[in-house]
Amino acid sequence: MSKSPLDYAKQAQELCVLSDVYMTLNRMLSSDSCSMEELAGAIAYEPAIAASILKIANSAMFSMPRKIDNLSKALVLLGIGEVKKLVNAYGVTAAFSSIDPKVADMDKFWEISVDCALICQYFSKNKQILNTDSIFLSGLFHNLGMLAIVHSEPDRVRYCEGYDSDETPWLRQRELFGFTFADCTTELLKLWNLPDTIIQPIAEFNRVELAPLAANSKLLYMASRLAVINAEPGVYTKEALINQLVLDDLDISLDEINQSLEYCNLQAMELLATFPIQGRMR
């Protein structure tokens, strides 16, 4: 009997556990009574997360006017929304940091994930698309289902990842599993009780050609395709992989797509070096 996305997600949940530090920080961030000072004190006990927050606070992604060398100051300047984003990104990527690179091409996986997140971020800011507060994390996490499945189905995942210009990754996934890796991602993030604002675009973006969807789901659809094009130069064209109607709906031109890829390529190395992930090369 074939497994469902939920079956694979439950299996992965047992193998890829969210850290206690992440769970504690998430509870604090969800509490109205938690102050920035208390949060800074808790983060200080986890040097890896503290260092990551300081690195990102000082990165070009946030363009702060001056160098930030104090964790409390970084948290205040970033704001609670961005801190939640960074803690979620660190905690979830850490859960998958021990995947054997011999089983899956982790460099390519994280390159595509980070590129997708940055492209989502670029357009959510520059096009002022509604309901995109969490779209960076949707982009970063959208393909985690692959890592959830690879533990038990390495050969089938390798086949899906061996796509070429005649077949898209998503077509291979549906043909072999009956669903896409994003469907498994959706179930895993639900089990981890992540916010629906992160999950909803992931649940929808691969169905963009079948039903009218929200703008954030369309944005993730476009970014996921651009990320594959960027990581696999020469395999696909933008015209072949992206529905022009989606670009028209989002009012995005070819020039703006090229600008987003330039932004992505400038930022990705810094981001890949910040989170506890194996992708380090471009």
Q: Per residue in 103-144, pLDDT tens?
A: 778 888 999 999 999 999 999 988 888 777 789 999 999 999
Helix 181-191 with 5-15: angle, nearest 10 deg: 50
How far is C-alpha 225 from the geometric centre of its chain's CA atoms?
A: 13
Q: Which of 180, 247, 177 minimizes the C-alpha distance to 207? A: 180
Q: What are phi and psi of 216, to 5 degrees?
A: -70, -35
Asked whether the predicted pLDDT for residue 251 surpasses 60, the reply is yes
Q: Which of 154, 184, 190 is nearest to 170 (CA)?
A: 184
Model pLDDT, residue 4: 94
CA gap 30, 270 in Å, rounded: 28
CA distances from 263 to 66, 123, 184, 271 (A): 21, 10, 29, 12
Q: What is the pTM of this model?
A: 0.88
180-219 pLDDT per residue, tens: 999 999 999 999 988 899 999 999 999 987 778 899 999 9
CA distance 28 to 31: 5
